[in-house]
Amino acid sequence: MPTLFKIMLALALCGAATHATASPEAPVSGTDYVTLPEAQNTDAGQKVEVTEFFAYYCPHCASFEPALAEWVKKQGDKIVFKRVHLGHTPAVVPQQRLYYTLESMGLVPQYHAKVFAALHQQHQRFGNDEQVFDWAASAGIDRARFIDVYRSFGIQARLSRANGMVASYQIREWPQVAVGGKYLTSPHLAGASASAATEAQQQQMALQVMDHLVAKAAAEKK
């Protein structure tokens, strides 16, 4: 990890001590969000690209999803929203393939929340391909078609791109949100200066920081 990024991340994790006056209303780089030492290319045109890095098994990602989805709707056509599912260990790869199969089939809007519910409310485990296939069939997705897409070269290419983005953005925790290919924030970072805040409050702080970062990134495009 580059030294500059280490310093910024360290400042973010101890924001309460180093920037007592920081707040979501006036976000501070190094406390409420991190500025990447090297901006990443985006393909959002004049809109602002917003990318969530997440994993289905992650309870914090599941908790953040409803508030994040509502925030995305409110942004309208100001942003291009994307998701990147991490595949940091072999055990997570079936879930990563599940997400990208749903994305490839155009089924994320219909099934994304249902996957979180299956894992965190119904306590299903997607630890291997067959468990994923069984869930897809039980959820009403054509099993044979799903398997064909799941095992396709196209999905492998999406996984490779996702893993490359995780490395390029230096993602170390999740959920984390990148804005404009340059800024990173999360409920943990945005709520660091309010250590007593509940997870729901930290999520709202993160969304306020994201509002600021979207406006900042849009202004930098002009």
pLDDT in tens, 103-115: 999 999 999 999 9
**In a 10 Å sphere around its CB, with 0-12 CB exposed, 13-18 middle and 19+ buried, how is residue 24 labelled?**
buried
Segments in the chain below pLDDT 70? 1-25, 193-196
Q: Which pLDDT does position 44 carry in this prediction? A: 87
Q: In this structure, are strands 79-85 and 48-54 parallel, antiparallel, or unpaired?
A: parallel
What are the residues facing 85 on neighbouring strands? 54
Supply the pTM of this predicted model. 0.87
Q: Which pLDDT does position 142 carry in this prediction? A: 98
Between CA 168 and CA 38 the distance in angstroms is 9
Q: Which pLDDT does position 107 carry in this prediction? A: 98
- What would the two tokens of residue 189 be? 């970072």
Give the Å distances, CA to CA, from 58 to 45, 75, 137, 204: 31, 25, 23, 19
Sign of torsion, CA 94 99 104 105?
positive
User: Cβ distance 202 to 79 under 8 Å?
Assistant: no
